[in-house]
Amino acid sequence: MFEDSIDRDPQSVACIFCAITRGDVETDYLYEDDEIVAFRDINPQAPFHVLVVPRRHFPSVDAMVQDARDIEILGRLALVAVLVAREQKLADSGYRVVTNHGPHGAQSVAHTHFHVLGGHQLGVRLG
């Protein structure tokens, strides 16, 4: 699961989210720019469940706090999460933005992604 957790390459050959952001896997993007794409989760946990993903391969958010350019992408991921939620008219009903890091965070794909969930009443408990 985390065998490429020290991978700092811009893209990782074995990574499914690198393949998706490269366009190797047929995927409808809800948002796309030079750095970031958003697409629906394959196993949605809510009526609206989208992943906001940098095109560049970072193992998780924990690997994005050293370099000012990486921190800027981190901030833009949060911005795009809000924009896709607003685009879906979720601002009034509410939504959740979450990212997981490492085993205790239950991260299963070792490429940074923010989940955006909404469209029904989410559970109160996060952990």
Over the window 63 to 92, marking each residue x when it contacts Zn ion by CB under 5 A and - when it does not, the resulting string is ------------------------------
Distance CA 60, CA 73 (A): 12
Residues 90-119 close enough to bind Zn ion by CB under 5 A: 111
Residue 120 is among the residues annotated as catalytic for this protein: no
Residues 12-31 close enough to bind Zn ion by CB under 5 A: 12, 15, 17-18
Interacting residue ranges for ligand 5GP, rule: CB under 6 A: 16, 39-43, 51, 100, 106-109
Written as six digits, the tokens of 86 are 């607003």
Distance CA 87, CA 101 (A): 27
Distance CA 56, CA 10 (A): 5
Give the residue numbers marked as catalytic. Answer: 113
